[in-house]
Amino acid sequence: MEFWERNFVEKGEMWGGFPAHSAQIAKDFFLTKNIKEILIPGFGYGRNGHIFLENGIDITGIELSNTAIELARKRFGPQTIIYHGSVVDMPFDTKKYDGIFCHGLIHLLAADERTKFIHDCYEQLSDHGYMIFTTVSKQASIYGQGTAIGTDRFEMFGGVNMFFYDLESIQTAFEKYGLIEVREVEENYPFYFITCKK
């Protein structure tokens, strides 16, 4: 909690105002599936939210950092629901969503938290809904840096813990949650773009 709150306080919109490459791919995918409403766990200050809204897809966010939510409120106003809390405490509502888009968050969680988070997202999907996760790959140049705190998991960047996925660990984590595709996508590091269907 403190790591992200501190970073949002110090750096504000630290990833700039443009959506991630993955958000653009997800938007196109959701449009082909006629998805009208999505949940975005790890909403941050909302840089990935606008691309969906501009294309007629309603959004609801979940965000841990109060400062990030305050930044997001300036962009989105009060009409966009942003729940304050950790994704490990999902669900925050009883709604079922047509889609879920979670960018660059799951690899920050501990093993038991990742398992619960994937399950909770799947439970909040409507039937035939899609969930998309993006996560850092073991191909990233930062893999192995910092202090090892578990298999493929390292403490780095002054306090953030990161788990690095490969195709095998993705298969293990997502196979019972409707995994339909894994593709590689380039962000600031090599990422995996993981698509599941309920």
Q: Using one digit for the tens of pLDDT, what is the confidence trace for 87-146?
A: 999 999 999 999 999 999 999 999 999 999 999 999 999 999 999 999 999 999 899 899
Is the four-CA dihedral 89, 90, 92, 93 of positive or negative sign? negative
Beta strands in the chain (DSSP E): 37-41, 58-63, 81-84, 97-103, 125-136, 147-150, 153-156, 160-163, 179-186, 190-197
pTM: predicted TM-score of the whole model, two decimal places = 0.91
Output the CA torsion sign for 156, 157, 163, 164.
Answer: negative
Q: How far apart are CA 120 and CA 110, in angstroms?
A: 15
Mean pLDDT of 15-21: 74
Q: Is pLDDT above 80 for 17?
A: no
Beta bridge partners of 150: 153
Q: Which residues have C-beta within 8 Å of that of residue 168, sequence separation ≥ 6?
A: none
Which residue in this structure is represented by tokens 């841990």? 64
User: Do residues 84 and 117 make contact, with C-beta atoms less than 8 angstroms apart?
Assistant: no
Q: What is the pLDDT of residues 48-95, one digit of tens each?
A: 999 999 999 999 999 999 888 988 998 898 889 999 999 999 999 999
Other C-beta atoms lying within 10 Å of the C-beta of residue 188:
12
Token pair, residue 12, equals 């504000």
In this prediction, residue 25 has a pLDDT band, given cuts at 50, 70 and 90, of very high
Query: In Å, what is the CA distance from 163 to each residue of 83, 107, 139, 170?
Result: 25, 5, 12, 12
Residue 116: other Cβ atoms inside 10 A: 16
Q: Which residues contact 57 (CB under 8 A, 6 or more apart)?
A: 27, 30, 31, 35, 36, 37, 38, 99
pLDDT at 91: 96
Q: How confident is the model at residue 18 (pLDDT cuts 50, 70, 90)?
A: confident
d(CA 95, CA 76): 21
Does 150 score more than 60 pLDDT?
Answer: yes
